[in-house]
Structure 1
Amino acid sequence: MTIVGIGLDLVTVSEFAEQLDRAGTTMIRESFTAGERRYCQGKGTDPARSYAVRWAAKEAVLKAWASSRFARRPQVGDNPYLLIEVVNDAWGRPTIKLHGLAQDFLPRAKIHLSLTHDGDTAAAVVILEDPGVNGEAED
């Protein structure tokens, strides 16, 4: 396997919460899948923390993908955020699920994800790996 991109993103939770609370905002609907919205809304009194860390994950995926393209942003339309979904496996571990054009452009990609919160900061790190043909890295 070959690492083809690394992405890191930090989000200030309180600033993200302010943006979500703005009257008329469509950010949640336009940036998070129905599954992500259900998960975040189910997190009790502070869903902004869950939304913020998922936003950081989406940004980290885009940065890792862009670095795999020599720093050119992926061409997947005006709103790539619904194409990148943070899901949890059976043990509650977060992982990335790609949809649409993102899946088409990265069909073999293995995406490693780490999320964290500390105080007013949420962060995500993504490592994008290409397994190559038959599990062997391509040149």
Structure 2
Amino acid sequence: MTVLGIGLDLVTVSDFAEQVERSGTTMLAEAFTSGERRYCEGKAADRIRSYAARWAAKEAVLKAWASSRYARRPQVGDDPYQLIEVVNDAWGRPRIKLHGVAAEFLPRATVHLSLTHDGDTAAAVVVLEDPGEG
């Protein structure tokens, strides 16, 4: 197995909340899938922290993707956020689901994800792994 890229992102939840308030629901609709919005809206007390952690995950995927393309032309495009979706299993464990060009570019890659939030901080770490021949 080969690591293709690593990404880390850290979000200040209060700054993220201000950004959401400035743009209204437009930012949430443009950056998050309907499934992500449904999940976060169901987290009443932690709504913004849930969005912030998912934003960090999307950014971490983009950083891992970019690091996998070092010294080569980027393949992300202008509006990649809807291509990267954080989904949860029945036990609440998050994972990344890729769509469109992201899924085409990384068809065999395993995307490892870790999310956290504490106080006014949310963070995500992503490792892109090529499982190799098998």
> TM-score range, shorter-chain basis?
over 0.9
Residues paired across the two proteins, number = 134
How far apart, CA to CA, are the structure 1 residues paired with 2:102 and 2:57?
Answer: 15
- Structure 2: segments with no counterpart, 5+ residues: none
Distance 1:73 1:59, change over 3 A: farther
Query: Could you say what secondary structure the match of 2:44 adopts?
Result: coil
Contact 1:7 1:62 in 2 (8 A): yes
Percent identity, please.
79
How far apart, CA to CA, are the structure 2 residues paired with 1:56 and 1:39?
Answer: 16
- 1:55 maps to a residue whose letter is W
How far apart, CA to CA, are the structure 1 residues paired with 2:27 and 2:132?
Answer: 36
TM-score by length of 1: 0.91
TM-score by length of 2: 0.94
Q: Which position in structure 1 is the counterpart of 2:107?
A: 107
Residue 58 (str. 1) matches residue 66 (str. 2): no
- 1:79-129 per-residue CA deviation (whole Å, 9 max, x = no partner) reads 100000000012210000000110000000101000001110000000100
Contact 1:10 1:121 in 2 (8 A): yes
**Over the residues paired in the alignment, what is the CA RMSD in angstroms?**
1.5
**102-111 vs 42-51, greater mean Cα deviation:** 42-51
Query: Could you say what secondary structure the match of 1:76 adopts?
Result: coil
> Larger helix proportion, structure 1 or 2?
2
Deviation of 1:37 after TM superposition, in Å, equals 0.2
How far apart, CA to CA, are the structure 2 residues paired with 1:28 and 1:3?
Answer: 31
How far apart, CA to CA, are the structure 1 residues paired with 2:107 and 2:55?
Answer: 22
